[in-house]
Amino acid sequence: MLARRLGSRLRSGRSGFTLIELLVVIAIIAILIGLLLPAVQKIREAAARMKCQNNLKQMGLAIHNYHDQWGVLPPGGKMGWWGATTNPPAGNMTEPHLNGDWNSDRGSWLIYILPQMEENALYTKLISWPNPNSPGGTSNRLDGSAYNPVGTYFGTSDPNGSSHAVRLKWARCPSDPYDPNAFRSSYMISVGPQCTPGPCGFDPYYGDCQNHNDPNNVTPPNDYWGYGWSPDHGNAWGAQDIRGVGNRLGAAINFAAVTDGLSNTFFVGEALVHQHDHLLWQNWWYFNGGTAHSTTIIPMNYDSDIEWCSPANHGNQNWGVSWGFKSKHTNGVNFLFGDGHVQFISSTIEKKTYNLLGCRNDNQNITPP
């Protein structure tokens, strides 16, 4: 009909459309765009979610290869050093604590899987970088012989002025809205249902890390979860005090210690950088940079996008609500399990199930939904 009108106008010497006709065309276009835009957004999110899952799968392969080589999982983080470049005290050479110096950064778990993630050139350059506080001043190994090896490397530049700071594309989920060019990570190793009280006086989930350890409480509401209290924030040297598979102080954990089964235990999950103070303020390579600051005690996708503690129930510095797993995917989070499979877990997962998937040794026979 529009074509006949146009032809009629052309025959009559008139050109163009009336205002009403133009408005109708614009309205039709707007409706079409409105119909197409959600579909385009869904396609983009599906692609981002798939990319994120692929990142986790690659990490899973790297973790297994690391375990094959060293007999343990990559440490969630490591710190400290021998305390001297020659003749260090014997007590300072005991892993993982060494001399317990928090200023000596030996790297996050992402540092330790660099060779398995086809980043061997970066890893080799890091551990061979000259460090004046090491034997002979020429070594930068991560075994404790050098002081602050990771901080030393990433805090300096090449002779030509090129910065050592690098971004790891595989360490960022495309759905994470924080600056994609920042030296941050969207993934955290799982510390499991660990206690994580914050500094803001609001810790609504703290009871779930300590109040479910009565084996006689097996009748409804069935509050026995198979684990008891754990050191706050995973600050412990021994594996027996860590509910998950890694912590920032480097407790040594291997596959055999995951008695609930690798296919039933979270190893790595997603995080949102701007909702987690340590991830926001520190870089991916730092042992205390947030990549091992996680807990399943906090409900999945709990919103903590307010800086500091105002209000405390949504503050990214309130660790009692900000150190949980979360994503911008629709209604859930991607997790890497110990057997290497990646699964999207719905935000509606039952609380007990979620926490038991985070714990490696609760012996409760829980499987992923």
Residue where a domain terminates, one of 128, 154, 180? 154
Phi/psi for 342 (5° steps) reads -115, 135
288 contacts: CB under 8 Å, gap ≥ 6:
77, 79, 102, 105, 248, 278, 282
Q: Which residue has the tokens 């396609």?
A: 43
Q: How many domains does the chain have?
A: 2
Cis peptide before 311 (omega within 30 of 0): yes
Q: Cα–Cα distance between 184 and 281 in angstroms, integer?
A: 9
289 and 225 together in one domain: yes
| DSSP-derived secondary structure letter, 12 | T
Amino acid of residue 21: E
273 and 243 together in one domain: yes
- The answer to whether residue 301 is domain-embedded is yes
Continuous segment of H or E residues that includes residue 278: helix 277-281
122 and 191 together in one domain: no
206 and 278 together in one domain: yes
What pLDDT was estimated at residue 10? 45
57 contacts: CB under 8 Å, gap ≥ 6:
336, 340, 342
- The answer to whether residue 7 is domain-embedded is no
- The answer to whether residue 88 is domain-embedded is yes
Instruction: Please write the tens of the pLDDT for every residue from 94-110.
Output: 999 999 999 999 999 99
Distances (CA, A) of 266 to 63, 131, 132, 338, 353: 13, 37, 40, 6, 12
What pLDDT was estimated at residue 2? 41
**Nearest alpha carbon to residue 356 among 216, 193, 217, 177:** 193
145 and 200 together in one domain: no
- The answer to whether residue 38 is domain-embedded is no
Residue where a domain terminates, one of 123, 154, 185? 154
What pLDDT was estimated at residue 17? 67
- The answer to whether residue 37 is domain-embedded is no
- The answer to whether residue 166 is domain-embedded is no
* Secondary structure (H, E, C), 130-158: CCCCCHHHCCCCCCCCCCCHHHHHHCCEC
Cis peptide before 180 (omega within 30 of 0): no
Q: Which residue has the tokens 């990433």?
A: 154
270 and 329 together in one domain: yes
211 and 294 together in one domain: yes
Q: Which residue has the tokens 């509401």?
A: 221
**Nearest alpha carbon to residue 147 among 164, 161, 129:** 129
Continuous segment of H or E residues that includes residue 367: none
Instruction: Please write the tens of the pLDDT for every residue from 17-74.
Output: 687 877 788 888 888 777 776 766 666 777 878 999 999 999 999 999 999 999 999 9
65 and 85 together in one domain: no
42 contacts: CB under 8 Å, gap ≥ 6:
none
Both tokens of 205, joined, read: 């989930």
Q: Helix, strand, or coil here: 51?
A: helix
52 and 193 together in one domain: yes
Burial class of residue 87, CB neighbours in 10 A (0-12, 13-18, 19+): exposed
125 and 263 together in one domain: no
123 and 183 together in one domain: no
- Rounded to 5°, angle at Cα 9 from 3 and 14: 140
The number of beta carbons lying within 10 Å of the beta carbon of residue 61 is 13
- In which residue ranges of the chain is pLDDT below 50? 1-3, 5-6, 9-11
Amino acid of residue 263: S
Residue 144, domain extent: 77-154
Q: Cα–Cα distance between 326 and 52 in angstroms, integer?
A: 13
Q: Which residue has the tokens 């979620």?
A: 354
- The answer to whether residue 285 is domain-embedded is yes
What pLDDT was estimated at residue 219? 58
Q: 306 has which bridge partners? A: 315
Q: Cα–Cα distance between 164 and 341 in angstroms, integer?
A: 33
- The answer to whether residue 33 is domain-embedded is no
What pLDDT was estimated at residue 27? 84
What pLDDT was estimated at residue 23? 79
Distances (CA, A) of 154 to 126, 160, 163, 351: 8, 15, 8, 40
